[in-house]
Amino acid sequence: MFALANHVNSVLVNSLLNKITSSKDVKILSVDELTALAKEIREEIVCNLNKTGGHLASNLGIVEITLALHYVFNSPTDKILFDVGHQCYVHKMLTSRRDQFDTLRQYKGLSGFINPLESEHDAFLAGHSSTSVSLAVGMAIARDLLSQKHKVIALIGDGGLTGGMALEAINHLGHLGKDVLIILNDNEMSISENVGGFSQYMKRIKETYFYRDIKEKIHQIEDKLDQAPLDTDLRTMIELVKKEAKAKIETPGIVFEKLGVDYSGPIDGHNIQAVIAALNEVKDKNTPQLVHIITQKGKGYAPAEQNAIKYHGVSAHSLEPALAEPSAKNNEPVPYKAQPVKTKGKTYSEVFSQALIELAPIEQNMVVITPATAEGSGVVKFGKAYPERFFDVAICEQHAVTMAAGMAKAGLKPVVSIYSTFLQRAMDQVIHDVAILKLPVIFGIDRAGLVEDGETHQGVFDIAYLRSIPNFKVLAPKDAIELRNMLFSALKNADGPVAIRFPRSQAIAAENMQNNKFTEIDYANWEIIETDYSSKSGDLAILAYGSMVDTGIQALKLISNKSNGSEPSLPILINARSSKPLDEFMLNVLFKSTKKMITLEEACLTGGFGTAILEWASNKKLKDPKQKQPEIFCLGVQDQFVEHGARNILLQNQGLDPQSIANFINTITA
Amino acid sequence: MFALANHVNSVLVNSLLNKITSSKDVKILSVDELTALAKEIREEIVCNLNKTGGHLASNLGIVEITLALHYVFNSPTDKILFDVGHQCYVHKMLTSRRDQFDTLRQYKGLSGFINPLESEHDAFLAGHSSTSVSLAVGMAIARDLLSQKHKVIALIGDGGLTGGMALEAINHLGHLGKDVLIILNDNEMSISENVGGFSQYMKRIKETYFYRDIKEKIHQIEDKLDQAPLDTDLRTMIELVKKEAKAKIETPGIVFEKLGVDYSGPIDGHNIQAVIAALNEVKDKNTPQLVHIITQKGKGYAPAEQNAIKYHGVSAHSLEPALAEPSAKNNEPVPYKAQPVKTKGKTYSEVFSQALIELAPIEQNMVVITPATAEGSGVVKFGKAYPERFFDVAICEQHAVTMAAGMAKAGLKPVVSIYSTFLQRAMDQVIHDVAILKLPVIFGIDRAGLVEDGETHQGVFDIAYLRSIPNFKVLAPKDAIELRNMLFSALKNADGPVAIRFPRSQAIAAENMQNNKFTEIDYANWEIIETDYSSKSGDLAILAYGSMVDTGIQALKLISNKSNGSEPSLPILINARSSKPLDEFMLNVLFKSTKKMITLEEACLTGGFGTAILEWASNKKLKDPKQKQPEIFCLGVQDQFVEHGARNILLQNQGLDPQSIANFINTITA
């Protein structure tokens, strides 16, 4: 624990951190100095994240491991692969990026994840979990084939290890016998609390019949052996074997050994001397090694130690008073002034979770599944209310989806709450296990659209890949009320897979929600939005999908303000809530009555909602060659990976903000 | 081993199999009768597959397990989940589908996989590997929530267990503690030989330092204990503990126990009495159980026992003389007449594999990766020629792709040889690990298009989902030579991810390949196909992608034959070899010069190649509103899952055969 006064002193007066200009500078420090440096780093992380927001608990937990890695190994020659990559802050501070830390996760600032485009010390890019061991195996193969000499190190958490891909990679690594070092950072927790998982079986092992039974027998033998006239040598030997066998059997070691990876540990991850010693021990071995290090998420910052889940990610200016930003002008600590917390509306995640809770009594066979995103998606609340109907399966998207398929086949109504980018992990399961049999699995697709986290987390592909799957319905609500009603309707009908996508943002019209009231909607019937700025017919039709309905309204407002809203020029605005199936009746009417059409979506243009309209138009041309068609213009996310930064900036860059859309409308109607 | 005479006798004279009208009939048989029945079943499988083709080795290996499952459990009340599902033939024979066996894998005949639409005894649908445990967990949760009583059984091979998803599911199952029975059918082999894998560490364990060390010490203690004056009770106890501990430690048991699943085995899978006893032992337990059963692929049929890989799947009329089809009219065996084997051309798989071998000396940094499909994709030959540059990672599509990304980042040029439907398993890895960093990983996508296996194996989604990923190139060659040149060019340029898709069929123009000759092609430049039936300009342009180029030529031939090839009516036929990027120069020319355009692709229409043209046209309209555009008609696979049957029938059903296309051209040009 540290207080503000210490922090200011260390930063300004006697800072070791100021002396670290590159990771090489770590190597000349003593253990005492490294310990002091660890403390300074923690202080700076807390202060910085109070400015920028970011992943707090995991970075506080990994300070000593990161220091030890740079102490023992030589980055960038040795390749250090951070799994997920959000625990890279210490690494960034040590590799010449400390100065830019106040730009963390800001547009054009430091990425919140590792990225080789940012530094040669970032050996790869990562934002999703469980990839590091596969990358390490690939890089080790390359190193050996190219006759290079360096270490390849995968730093993976116990949460990441629940991902099937990491297990595939360890299995393969054991088979190959390549020189790869895996550091298992075991904090017994992924984003939510871990499920299954290697870290858990130290607990479980003691409860299994086999071990109880064997142990009991061993105790009986020991009692008898104690009385038997054995010589000292033999007694020493027996003790030695018992100790070694016990150490192997009572840690996860034996599983890794069985898979061909040598195991050592567990090591106290906050004892820097112990961590350095453990790394030095395996440094020169040229076979697969795993060092098991136990850490505590949030280490050194009391609130995060006590509730690491809450402090997994923090917003700017949300931390406790005693740790606020010091005044740079004055060596004296400045009393913390609490930032006025904006009274936020509900997010779509919260609306979705609340709807699940309200629907639970009506839909007795509904169950909810989440792959380690219970907190982020808000469904943790459902889990608390209905624990027996809630399944957090750890970082196992594939298993989550196929398990849901099994449930649906057996009569349940599973709702899979999952982020758009993470559903990419289960594409095959969606096709092979859910869609072919047309099973009623509902996908609540959170973070669909642009998010501040950057390239790895942009939820822009879901419409394109889900729309190509037969039997799927792909929906997006315009607001909180529609989200609730879509979920209600999908559960009620339960006639096949339904995806409901919603963005990471505050929900529109959340204040109008009436608890416990749901209305069935026919989502294949689109809705005409009537406002002062749109009409029921016109030369121009705007088909807006999901989050873009509200943006469309704002855009029309801007135009109307300029044009004084002369009635004939008003376009028709459609809430095209289903990109599959399309509302063919409405499209037929619109194709006859409008000259131009704009589609709006917060997703990649290639294969997206707008494309669905183009495909429909092409089909219609075939059936009805004489019918004149409107010109169709599609707005959405361009064919590029979108960087990190505030969502409104990203939307603006893609021309998906109200002003850009208004400008576009003006251009094509000019 | 059995001879034909025995077979005929047993089938026609004294058949137990004839008495099995439902799986319940198995329950009243004695062990001797079951053993005899197993023999009859093997004979019938060999005879039947000699007529229809199908999965031979795995089904011969699983006869006793299937019999024992139906003997001990009550299908369909108890749910038996066959992983992958291609080892379901015995199950189908026992569940009232024996009569239809000669329709196996034929159009409108029995499926080669399990499918609940075919029988209530097929608890789910499966064609891909490693899904059964997740399904079982889902069904067990459903059973308990719905207060039902039955057993849920997942039957999974050791190959299936290498899939990360199965490991995710076992981990979760152990955590939940649900009543699920896993039967591990361990034949030490997936489709190719197994890699890593649980079955392997019985071998590896004996080589690890830890075990050698501990064992040595135990031996020393044993020697001393032998001389020590211990009483008999104590000696018995010590022996008992040693035996039990050894049994657990020297089998995969300990890994499963650690994950919370009780382990029993290994059991001889061809001793039906032993298998029944093992199942009875766990039948009434209500916690996760795994029974480890050792079987031999191809059991009972000598050629398959000796080469299970070769006999994994067999073609009709390919089996050995002694086992041919008996005459139904005569009880006497009829001498086998070898079927004239058609001199087949090379398949695209063979062409691809051969090109890899030829390119290996030129591209020294090229490596080849396959997820357990070395045989099917033909790259096993590359593996034999360049073992150090070849990586069969077992059924681990996710790991395969991310490992390739790591390799590419580290300077290699990895080629991932993978089936179209299996690449669905690695969609996220393709986006997150390959595409964002624009790494030069080449995907040789085999079985892209329609295949005879049915819904689970149709390779029709790849264009749609790959095309939506930024930085990707998505190519399809028109023939063997172009496939070679595409691979050559992709390796030479190595400037980002490239997918090359080709169908499961004989390669066009394979006879024209010149060994060791490669020509670089700019795949973003499409090619005008000049034949007697097509021209260099015309009112109609046909943009054909991949396999459809040849079909397009055939279609034009049909039209030309009718119309006597009057010059002005000849359409222009384009080999549109890249669906991303498009050849914008050529499209601009065509848009000016043609009135109508047809796109042809062997893939789903939603989001596919034709859609790419529609998107381009929509964009062009925006930039160049005055330019008149041709009408675009897209032909491809409809929005439906396509059943099993011969590829030519399936293509015809989708209107993708030459005649249908010719008819379509006639319709729109009439």
For chain A, say whether B195 makes contact (Cβ under 8 Å).
Answer: yes
Residue B3 has which token pair?
């001879």
The rounded distance, in Å, linking the Cα atoms of B56 and B70 is 21
Maximum CA extent, chain B: 108
Closest CB to B128 among A234, A428, A608: A428
Query: What does the DSSP 8-state code read for residue A374?
Result: T
- Block means of pLDDT (10 residues each) for chain B, length 670 residues? 43 75 94 95 90 87 96 97 91 93 90 93 94 95 95 93 89 91 80 43 40 59 71 71 60 72 87 96 95 89 78 72 38 38 76 96 96 90 95 92 95 97 96 96 98 95 97 97 97 97 95 85 92 83 97 92 58 96 96 95 98 96 89 96 96 97 91
The pLDDT value given to residue A201 = 44
Map residue B568 onto helix, strand or coil: helix
Q: Are strands B596-604 and B631-637 parallel, antiparallel or unpaired?
A: parallel
Q: Distance between CA atoms of A387 and A560, rounded to whole angstroms?
A: 50
Evaluate whether A535 touches A559 at the Cβ level (below 8 Å). no
Query: Considering CB atoms only, which of B169, B231, B614 is closest to A399?
Result: B169
Query: Reduced to 3 states, what is the DSSP secondary structure of residue A204?
Result: helix
**A-interface mutation test, from B133, B145, B156, B165, most A Cβ less than 10 A away:** B165
Instruction: Among 3.40.50.720, 3.40.50.920, 3.30.360.10, 3.40.80.10, name the CATH number for the domain at A527-669.
Output: 3.40.50.920
Which residues in chain B have Cβ-Cβ distances shorter than 8 Å to A174?
Answer: 196, 201, 204
Sheet holding A631-637, edge to edge: A527-529, A572-575, A540-544, A596-604, A631-637
**B365 vs B129: CA distance, rounded Å:** 31
Report the catalytic residues of B. Answer: 297, 397, 425
Beta bridge partners of A193: A189
- Contact (CB, 8 A) for B465 and B581: no
Measure in Å the smallest separation between the Cα of B632 and chain A Cα atoms. Answer: 6
Pair A275, A293: CB distance under 8 Å:
yes
CA distance A47 to chain B (A): 31
- Comparing alpha-carbon positions, the chain A residue that sits nearest to B116 is A437
CATH number of B4-314: 3.40.50.970
Cα gap A362→A443, rounded to integer Å: 19
Distance CA A400, CA B125 (A): 17
pLDDT band at residue A563 under the 50/70/90 scheme: low
Q: Output the six-digit token pair for A257.
A: 């050994």
Q: Please give the Cα distance from A132 to A126 (Å, whole number).
A: 8
Pick from A172, A287, A474 the residue to mutate for testing the B interface (most B CBs within 10 Å).
A172
What percentage of chain B's residues is helix, strand, coil (to nearest 5)? 45, 15, 40
* Residues 304-363 of chain A whose Cβ lies under 8 A from any Cβ of chain B: none
The first and second tokens of residue B424, run together, are 């669905």
Cα–Cα distance, B415 to B639 (Å, whole number): 31
Q: Contact B15/B93 with Cβ under 8 angstroms?
A: no
Q: Is the Cβ of A5 closer than 8 Å to some Cβ of chain B?
A: no
Please state at what angle helix A658-669 crosses helix A548-563, rounded to 10 degrees. 60
Residue A323's φ and ψ, nearest 5 degrees, are -115, 25
In whole angstroms, what is the distance from residue B379 CA to residue B359 CA? 13
Contact A398 B165 (CB under 8 A): yes
* A265 Ramachandran zone, left/alpha/beta (phi>0; psi -120 to 50): left
A residues 601-630 near B, CB within 8 Å? 604-608, 610-612, 614-615, 617-618, 621-622, 625
How many A-B residue pairs are in contact by the CB < 8 A criterion? Answer: 455
pLDDT of residue A9: 42
Conformational region of residue A591, where left means phi above 0, alpha means psi within -120 to 50, and beta covers everything else: alpha
Cβ contact B392:B374 at 8 Å:
yes
Q: In a 3-state reduction of DSSP, which class is residue A635?
A: strand
The whole-angstrom distance between B472's CA and the closest CA on chain A is 10
Query: Angle at the Cα of A382 (from A380 to A388), degrees rounded to 5?
Result: 105
What is the end-to-end Cα distance of chain A in Å, rounded?
64
CATH no., domain B348-512:
3.40.50.970
DSSP H/E element including A501: strand A498-501
Q: Are B476 and B503 in contact (CB under 8 A)?
A: no
pLDDT at position A213 over 80: no
Q: Which residues of A touch B240 (CB under 8 A)?
A: 217
| pLDDT surpassing 50 at residue A342 | no
Q: What is the structure's pLDDT at B211?
A: 47
Tokens of B396: 């681990």
B-proximal residues of A, 495-514, CB under 8 Å: none
Q: What is the pLDDT of residues A471-505, one digit of tens each?
A: 999 999 999 999 999 999 999 999 999 999 999 99
User: What are the distances in angstroms from CA B169 to CA A403, B131, B137, B610?
Assistant: 8, 9, 7, 39
Chain B residues within an 8 Å CB radius of A459: none
A669 three-class SS: helix
What is the dihedral sign for C-alpha A592, A594, A596, A602? negative
Q: Is position A105 annotated as part of the catalytic site?
A: no
Three-state secondary structure along A434-481? HHCCCCCCEEEEECCECCCCCHHHCECCHHHHHHCCCCCEEECCCCHH
- How far is the alpha carbon of B351 from chain A, nearest alpha carbon, in Å? 26
- Cβ pair A217:B234 closer than 8 A: no
C-alpha distances in angstroms, B588 versus A12, A239, B302, B341, B544?
A: 64, 82, 62, 49, 17
CA distance B537 to A218: 88
Assess whether pLDDT exceeds 60 at residue A133.
yes
Contact B258, B150 (CB under 8 A): no
Q: Which of A125, A138, A257 sits opposite B437 (nearest CB)?
A: A125
Name which of B231, B455, B604 is nearest A468 (Cβ-Cβ).
B604
Whether B464 sits inside 8 A of A461 (CB atoms) is no
Whether residue A172 and residue B139 make contact (CB cut-off 8 A), yes or no, is no
Structure letter (DSSP) for residue B395:
S
HSE on the CB side for B261, CA within 13 Å? Answer: 31
Angle A420-A166-A118 (CA atoms, 0-180°, nearest 5)? 65
The beta-carbon neighbor of A424 closest among B252, B428, B621 is B428
Residue spans in chain B of domains classed CATH 3.40.50.970: 4-314, 348-512
pLDDT digits (tens, 9 = 90+) for A295-339: 988 888 888 887 777 777 777 767 754 443 333 333 343 333 334
Cα B543–B546–B548 angle (5° rounding)? 60
**CA distances in angstroms from B558 to B253, B569, B648, B665, listed in the order given:** 64, 14, 17, 11
What's the gap in Å between the CA of A141 and the closest CA on chain B? 7
For CATH 3.40.50.920, the residue range(s) in chain B are: 527-669
C-alpha to C-alpha distance for A101 and B502, rounded to whole angstroms: 48
Which one of B137, B607, B641 has the shortest CB-CB distance to A470? Answer: B641
pLDDT of residue B208: 41
Q: In angstroms, how far is the first alpha carbon of chain B from the final one?
A: 64
User: Rounded to whole angstroms, how far apart are CA atoms B554 and B547?
Assistant: 12
In percent, the amount of chain A with pLDDT more than 90 equals: 64
Does A173 have pLDDT greater than 70? Answer: yes
Rounded distance, CA A34 to CA B174, Å? 41
Instruction: Find out whether B187 and B158 touch, Cβ atoms under 8 Å.
Output: yes
Residue B246 pairs with which residues in a beta bridge? Answer: none
Q: Is A397 part of the annotated catalytic residue set?
A: yes
Is the pLDDT assigned to residue A656 strictly greater than 90? yes
Cβ <8 Å between B146 and A407? no
pTM to 2 decimal places = 0.88
Q: How far apart are CA A128 and CA A223, in angstroms?
A: 52
Q: What is the DSSP string of A58-124?
A: HHHHTHHHHHHHHHHS-TTTSEEEESSSTT-HHHHIIIIIGGGGGGTTSTTS--SSB-TTT-TT--S
The answer to whether the CB of A92 falls within 8 A of the CB of A22 is no
Q: Do A604 and B425 touch (CB under 8 A)?
A: no
Distance to chain A for B237, nearest Cα, Å: 7
Residues of B in contact with A238 (CB under 8 A): 221
Whether the predicted pLDDT of A154 surpasses 50: yes
Partner A, chain B 444-473, Cβ-Cβ below 8 Å:
455-456, 461, 464-465, 467-471
Is a pLDDT exceeding 90 seen at residue A438? yes
Task: Return the structure tokens found at A379.
Answer: 């469904």
CA-based nearest residue to A125, from B440, B428, B406, B473: B406
Helix, strand, or coil here: B258?
helix
Residues B662 and B652: beta-carbon distance below 8 Å: no
Q: What is the mean pLDDT of residues A334-355?
A: 68
State the nearest Cα–Cα gap between A294 and chain B, in angstroms: 19
- Among A167, A196, A631, select the one facing B175 at the smallest CB separation: A196
Quick check: B647 and B544 in contact, CB under 8 A?
no
CB contact at 8 A, A344 and A479 = no
CB contact under 8 A, B141 and A412: yes
pLDDT (mean) for A115-137: 94
Give the torsion through C-alpha atoms of A104, A110, A111, A117, to 10 deg: -170
Which sign does the torsion angle of CA A191, A192, A198, A202 carry?
positive
Residues facing residue B544 across a β-bridge: B575, B600
B-chain residue closest to A407, CA distance: B138
Put simply, whether A223 touches B (Cβ < 8 Å) is no
8 Å CB contact between B536 and B488: no
In the three-class reduction of DSSP (H, G, I as helix; E, B as strand; rest coil), residue B441 is classed as coil
